[in-house]
């Protein structure tokens, strides 16, 4: 209990004794008596060593505890003064005069000389009243301190629980965003496949625009600009392939700003001695912005690797 008052217990033990001080009346009374004894010992200068260091560093930290010590020191001063006056009165009583002297003194002393003893009695009564009031005040302050500690612990537990809930919500939101982005990519890829395999509309001739694209070089160069008129069905690209010798290739169109794939084609084979590749992209997927056509070479063993990038900019009138 002393370690609890001086703050040297573990957090688990401290919480356990906090609950006991609120639910166990006998324990709370014993704790209050022990606390008063510690305060009185400190006021009388009876604490020393590690006990004194822990008392001054932990117990005196809250303002209410310092007020409690000040009250105890004030009461100690009153008690010492009352004890001194009692000792003086006792010595005066022991020095009893002879019967003749007593009669003479009684005849010659005025009545008001009997007042000091009456004042001493009133002093003792006042000291007792101060002790009673101070004890009640200290008990009330101690109760307020325990309530404040309990409220602080309750608020901290509620805030920690809210923090965990917010973390779970953020984690769930990130997961939902990732799933939404993945689903959006799948929908776009499926739309591209449907556009690619859509049966031709025999009511009109499909409109196709064709462009030649060269691979991107390390040096700074201009991005090829292609104009896609309205009602264009397909944009056909003729790619100059530098990395020849692959049995097959695959092409993907990416948004240059976000690096997001908006279309991916199937496996293709190069023509013209493996130096030319023809790719058809649905025009409905392209908007007026920058894109890059990424070329992947697939070896006979199935290994895939990037073999060229073809940047271009779409302009729709």
Region 151-174: what's the mean pLDDT? 89
The least confident of 114-118, 168-172, 256-260 is 114-118
User: Does residue 282 have a pLDDT over 90?
Assistant: yes
Q: For residue 271, what pLDDT is reported?
A: 78
Give 259-276 pLDDT, tens digit per residue. Answer: 999 999 888 888 767 688
Cα 193 to Cα 10, 18, 185, 187, distances in angstroms: 65, 68, 12, 10
Q: For residue 12, what pLDDT is reported?
A: 92
Q: Where are the beta strands (DSSP E) in the chain?
A: 208-213, 224-227, 234-240, 248-255, 261-264, 276-282, 290-298, 304-315
Higher-pLDDT residue of 203, 195: 195
Q: Residue 220's pLDDT band (boundaries 50, 70, 90)?
A: low
Q: Are 240 and 265 in contact (CB under 8 A)?
A: no
Task: Give the Cα separation of 295 and 215 in Å (integer).
Answer: 9
Task: Give the Cα separation of 297 and 300 in Å (integer).
Answer: 10
User: Does residue 290 have a pLDDT over 90?
Assistant: yes
């Amino acid at each position: 209990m002393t370690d609890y008052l001086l703050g040297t217990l573990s957090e688990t033990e401290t919480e356990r004794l906090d609950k006991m001080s609120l639910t166990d009346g006998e324990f709370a009374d014993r704790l209050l008596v022990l606390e008063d004894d510690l305060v009185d010992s400190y006021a009388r200068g009876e604490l020393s060593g590690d006990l004194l260091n822990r008392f001054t560093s932990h117990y005196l930290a809250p303002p209410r505890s310092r007020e409690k010590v000040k009250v105890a020191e004030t009461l100690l001063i009153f008690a010492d003064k009352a004890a001194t006056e009692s000792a003086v009165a006792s010595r005066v009583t022991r020095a009893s005069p002879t019967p003749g002297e007593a009669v003479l003194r009684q005849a010659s002393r005025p009545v008001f000389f009997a007042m000091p003893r009456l004042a001493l009695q009133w002093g003792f009564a006042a000291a007792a009243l101060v002790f009673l009031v101070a004890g009640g005040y200290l008990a009330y302050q101690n109760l307020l301190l325990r309530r404040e500690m309990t409220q602080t612990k309750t608020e901290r537990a509620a805030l920690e629980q809210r923090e965990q809930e917010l973390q779970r919500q953020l984690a769930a939101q990130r997961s939902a965003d990732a799933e939404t982005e993945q689903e959006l990519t799948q929908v776009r890829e499926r739309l591209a496949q449907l556009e690619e395999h859509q049966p031709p509309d025999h009511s009109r001739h499909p409109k196709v625009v064709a462009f030649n694209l060269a691979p991107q070089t390390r040096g700074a160069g201009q991005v090829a600009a292609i104009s896609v008129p309205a009602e264009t069905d397909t944009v056909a690209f003729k790619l100059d392939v530098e990395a020849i010798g692959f049995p097959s290739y695959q092409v993907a169109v990416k948004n240059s700003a976000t690096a997001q794939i908006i279309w991916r084609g199937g496996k293709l084979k190069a023509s013209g001695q493996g130096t030319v590749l023809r790719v058809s992209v649905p025009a409905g997927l392209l908007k007026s912005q920058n894109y890059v056509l990424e070329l992947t070479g697939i070896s006979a063993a199935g290994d895939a690797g990037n073999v060229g990038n073809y940047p271009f900019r779409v302009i729709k009138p």
